[in-house]
Amino acid sequence: MEAAASIKRNVTTVVGDVSRLEDLDRLYAVVKEKHGHIDVLFANAGAGTIAPLAVATEAHFDQTFDVNVKGLFFTVQKALPLFKDGGSIILNSSVSNVLGLPGFTAYAASKAAVRNFSRGWTLELKDRHIRVNCVSPGAIDTPALATTTGLTAEQAEQAVAQFTTQIPMGRRGFPEEIAAAVAFLASDESSYITGVDLAVDGGMAQV
């Protein structure tokens, strides 16, 4: 809501839970009524908390996969009737899809599923000339590490320091840098790019 208020024009907000299919139906009913069609979809909703294997619960596992896998899958599926041929779909994955991160195994597995969605959907949607790509952020400077992972403020600071030592560029990324990558994949400048996983991670998972 705050983001929409700051943009002020050409924005419609719909509050919902991507893991609830009725909420997705309501979302796309609004899109159809107000805009008629979709040119670009960025499937960005995600969830992840730290839960080592020995203590992870069924509730933790289900929440992670309900949002990151089920929610994303049906977000894309239910958008297709409104999607224009030649459009662009961008899926938010993570560099964790290729890394071993203790405590984040369910999250990493869910993001690996997202990466594989992009591969399969690239082929399924090729006759409609719809491009499907992933963007995979690394460690990004947002409050999420402290507010959604279950870490204390001190633990979050320690995790940031540890992550930073693994990043060749020596810092966390900024949200604006992820936005720039998404805008590129949404634009005609990436018209010959499909099926890729664009890592925006300062080299964290590349070396």
> Of 74, 83, 104, 107, which is the active-site residue?
107
Q: Please name which of 41, 37, 121 lies closest in space to residue 88, comparing C-alpha atoms.
A: 41
107 given a catalytic annotation: yes
Residues known to be catalytic? 107
